[in-house]
Structures are given as structure tokens and as C-alpha cells.
């Protein structure tokens, strides 16, 4: 009980000292505020980014594989080695569809520029055009609110049919039923046969399905042909559940190499991009960003810690006479030690609290400015901020506190006079 009472009295002394020197206390905690704001702000931004990516990837099957003439991630090849590689072809797609073992689904697609879709006097601008075969529906896990997706016959013949996203449907038809209506795209009339469920912002990686339109790839091939280098083609495929992905990729690569007549000592003229590898790459990037951000922000905390240590040395100097009187009246060394330690830790915690407050306000403002990205301040980051603040306060105050506790009472009173 005596020990707890001493701690309480030490805390009261520390609070009184801070209240007596408000301006000095404010200036010393400013460095900690900036440091905590920088560190927790970066952690909150990276956490928000990771959750956004995880949310987008959750809509995808990470066993999905993309095959095209570009790599999704870093590659050891120089650009001149692959910039003239041919696009994957529709014939290769048909070969793989027929002969690749353990294949669950495969589609042939082309990456297109956004287009405008018109219906009477209304126009949906910047629509993401996504051509594909009928298996696109299962590969992308699409969900329909109305109508249907195009079938194999429509896909093979390149029928002028289209499935549109919720935003496109709203722009063109409002509350009217879009099924069976004819819209204009690429100078042709397309019949709307389906409307996708609204997914909302940030629900997927890449272009939003709400602002997209899906149509048979063979219709697009008739317009642009198979040799237009501005329209990159790709295979999207995934193995059957339970199949070994490494073996599946090895077989996929071998079949494409054989079809293209690539010799054993020659490079493959295509990239195989598993989504799992892409997800791992994203995780590595976010971890690196966190590490770099924390290191840079740590310098702000270091400056704040030096600021508190400097103020605490000044406090010891100013209160030398008082320390001598307290010790001459029987105050123990640890009582003096606790006074200055508590003062240092309280300064750091107050600075950390203000830093967290500014981060929280920043997340609210940033989230309100964009509907496509939500910033979050997690409980874990709040605990990290408080712990770092307390630790910095402890380290910054321990040397001044020890120097105060070791003062000789007679010498302290004399020097104070």
C-alpha cells in the first residue's frame, strides 16, 4: 500500500509539473505527435490497401492462371526479349480446351479499350468491354440479376449479344427492363440478354463489373482480326479442384511450346501468370512498403524522443532545489525517479494520443473524398501507437530520471540556492 501511495504521489507531482509548464509540455509532445501520426498513418494506409486487395482477390479463385505475352510481375527478361512475342491465338485456345488434362475451365479473351454504348438518346461512357467465351461466366464467378449469359452456340458464332453491368444498365435504361433491348456498340446493334448483380466499389481487382459489358469474343475477332497488336489476347484457365497446380502449369507450358515448335534450348514465347503468384507478389510489395514507411517514420519518433529527453533534463535542472528538499525530508530515490519517469511517459502518451486523433480524422476525411477506397484505423494500430509512445517516453526519461534520483540532497539544495 505504501508503494502504491508513493506511485500515486509521484504521478501527482508529474502532472503538476506538466500543468505548470504547459507551453513547454506542448512543444515537447509535438515531436511525438508527428512521429506517431507518421508511423500509424502509414500502417493504417497499408492495412487499408491490404484489405482492399484481399477483398478484390476474394472474388477470384487464386488457382486461376492467365497466359499472354506479358508478365504480371517482375521478370528476369529484358523488354527487348519479349516485346515482339506473338499474342496467344484462338487456335491455341481450342487446342488447350481439347487436350489439356485436369482442365476445369478455359476462356479466350482480349484486352480492349473502353467504349461508349448507346441506347436511343442515352449513352453509357467509358464502358469496360470484356470479350470472352461462354466459360467466362464460371471463371469470373459472375452473378446475374436479370436474364442470362451467352451460351456456347452464341460464343462460337460471335452473335451480337451482350451482358451488361448494373451501372451500365442504370445509365441506359433507368428502372426499365433492359432484357431484349438493342444497344449500339462498335457500329452494330447488340441485344441485351443479361444484367449483372451490382457488386459495389472495391469488390474486385481491376475494372468494376458494374461498369463492364461482356460479349462473345468471336464477334470482336471479326472486327479486329487476330493480328491487331493493340488488342492483347489472353487465356484464362484454372485446373480441376485437387489438381497439382505446378504439374498443371508444366503441362500447359509444354503443350504450348510443342504447338509453337519451340526447341528445348529456346525461351518460351509467352508468360504464365498464376493469380496465386500475383497475390504473393502484392503481399511482398505491401510488406516492403510497411517496412520502409516505418523506418522513415522512426526518424520522426527519434526526434520526438530527443525533444522529450531535452525537456526532462531542463526540468531536472530547474527542480534541483525541490529535489534536494524532498530527499532531505525523507523522500526515497525511487520516488524522485518515478516523478520524472511518469512525467516523460505522460508527455509521450499525450503526444501519441494526439497523433492517433489526427490519423483517425485523416481516415475519415480520406474515406469521404473517395467512394472506391476505405481507410481504416484498426485497434491493433491504436495499441501499437500507444505502446510505441510509452516506450519512447520511458527511454527518453530514464537517464534524466536516474540523474535526478542520484542527486545528493545537500548539494542539490546548495546548487538550487
What pLDDT, on a 0 to 100 scale, did the predictor assign at position 61? 62
What pLDDT, on a 0 to 100 scale, did the predictor assign at position 165? 92
In a domain, 63, yes or no: no
Please give the distance of CA 120 from its chain centroid, rounded to a whole number. Answer: 41
Residues 241, 300: one domain? no
What pLDDT, on a 0 to 100 scale, did the predictor assign at position 258? 93
End position of a domain, from candidates 212, 238, 269: 269
Residues 307, 250: one domain? no
In a domain, 20, yes or no: yes
Closest by CA to 177, choosing from 197, 160, 195, is 195
Residues 108, 8: one domain? no
Q: Please count the structural domains in the chain.
A: 2
Closest by CA to 339, choosing from 414, 397, 413, is 397
What is the SS3 assignment for 410? helix
Q: 131 with 112: CB under 8 angstroms?
A: yes
Residue showing cell 509521484 = 10
Residues 375, 400: one domain? yes
In a domain, 410, yes or no: yes
Q: CA-CA distances (angstroms) from residue 208 to 111, 149, 164, 169, 230? A: 14, 18, 12, 14, 22
DSSP string across 206-229: SS-GGGEEEEEHHHHHHHH-S--T
What pLDDT, on a 0 to 100 scale, did the predictor assign at position 3? 55
Full residue range of the structural domain in which residue 388 is found: 2-57+281-416
DSSP string across 306-357: HHHHHHHHHHHHHTHHHHHHHHHTT--HHHHHHHHHHHHHHHHHHHHHHHHH
Q: 338 with 6: CB under 8 angstroms?
A: yes
In a domain, 318, yes or no: yes
Q: What is the DSSP letter of 231?
A: S
Q: What is the mean pLDDT of each run of 10 residues along the chain (417 residues)?
A: 59 64 71 80 77 63 84 80 88 92 91 90 91 89 90 92 92 90 92 88 64 93 84 90 88 93 90 76 72 75 78 74 74 73 79 85 79 72 82 82 75 64
Neighbouring-strand partners of residue 391: none
Residues 106, 53: one domain? no
What pLDDT, on a 0 to 100 scale, did the predictor assign at position 320? 72
On whether the pTM is more than 0.85, the answer is no
Return d(Cα 306, Cα 308) in angstroms, integer.
5
Residues 256, 393: one domain? no
What pLDDT, on a 0 to 100 scale, did the predictor assign at position 251? 93
Residues 110, 253: one domain? yes
Amino acid at each position: 500500500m505504501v508503494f502504491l501511495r508513493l506511485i500515486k504521489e509521484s504521478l501527482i507531482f508529474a502532472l503538476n509539473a506538466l500543468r505548470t509548464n504547459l507551453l513547454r509540455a506542448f512543444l515537447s509532445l509535438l515531436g511525438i505527435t508527428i512521429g506517431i501520426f507518421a508511423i500509424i498513418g502509414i500502417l493504417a494506409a497499408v492495412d487499408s490497401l491490404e484489405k482492399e486487395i484481399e477483398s478484390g482477390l476474394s472474388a477470384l479463385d487464386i488457382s486461376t492462371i492467365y497466359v499472354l505475352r506479358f508478365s504480371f510481375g517482375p521478370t528476369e527478361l529484358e523488354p527487348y526479349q519479349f516485346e515482339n512475342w506473338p499474342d496467344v491465338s484462338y487456335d491455341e485456345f481450342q487446342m488447350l480446351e481439347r487436350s489439356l488434362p485436369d482442365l476445369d475451365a478455359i476462356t479466350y479473351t482480349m484486352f480492349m479499350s473502353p467504349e461508349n454504348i448507346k441506347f436511343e438518346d442515352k449513352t453509357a461512357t467509358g464502358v469496360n468491354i470484356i470479350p470472352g467465351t461462354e466459360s467466362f461466366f464460371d471463371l469470373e464467378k459472375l452473378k446475374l440479376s436479370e436474364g442470362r449469359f451467352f451460351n456456347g452456340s452464341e460464343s462460337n458464332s460471335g452473335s451480337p449479344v451482350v451482358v451488361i453491368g448494373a451501372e451500365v444498365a442504370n445509365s441506359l435504361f433507368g428502372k426499365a427492363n433492359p432484357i431484349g433491348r438493342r444497344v449500339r456498340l462498335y457500329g452494330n446493334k447488340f441485344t441485351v440478354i443479361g444484367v449483372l448483380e451490382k457488386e459495389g466499389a472495391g469488390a474486385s481487382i481491376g475494372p468494376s463489373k458494374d461498369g463492364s459489358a461482356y460479349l462473345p469474343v468471336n464477334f470482336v475477332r471479326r472486327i479486329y482480326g487476330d493480328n491487331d497488336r493493340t488488342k492483347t489476347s489472353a487465356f484464362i484457365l484454372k485446373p480441376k479442384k485437387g489438381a497439382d497446380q505446378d504439374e498443371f502449369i508444366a503441362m500447359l507450358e509444354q503443350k504450348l511450346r510443342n504447338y509453337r515448335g519451340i526447341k528445348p534450348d529456346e525461351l518460351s514465347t509467352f508468360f504464365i501468370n498464376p493469380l496465386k503468384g500475383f497475390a504473393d507478389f502484392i503481399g511482398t510489395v505491401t510488406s516492403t512498403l510497411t517496412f520502409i514507411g516505418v523506418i522513415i517514420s522512426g526518424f520522426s519518433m527519434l526526434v520526438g524522443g530527443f525533444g522529450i529527453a531535452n525537456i526532462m533534463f531542463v526540468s531536472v535542472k530547474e527542480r534541483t532545489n525541490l529535489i534536494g528538499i524532498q530527499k532531505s525530508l525523507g523522500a526515497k530515490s525511487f520516488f524522485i525517479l518515478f516523478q520524472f519517469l511518469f512525467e516523460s511517459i505522460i508527455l509521450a502518451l499525450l503526444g501519441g494520443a494526439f497523433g492517433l486523433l489526427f490519423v483517425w480524422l485523416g481516415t475519415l476525411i480520406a474515406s469521404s473524398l473517395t467512394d472506391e477506397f476505405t481507410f481504416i484505423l484498426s485497434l491493433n494500430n491504436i495499441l501499437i501507437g500507444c505502446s510505441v509512445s510509452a516506450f519512447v517516453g520511458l527511454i527518453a526519461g530514464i537517464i534524466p530520471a536516474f540523474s535526478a534520483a542520484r542527486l545528493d540532497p545537500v548539494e542539490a539544495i546548495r546548487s538550487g540556492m
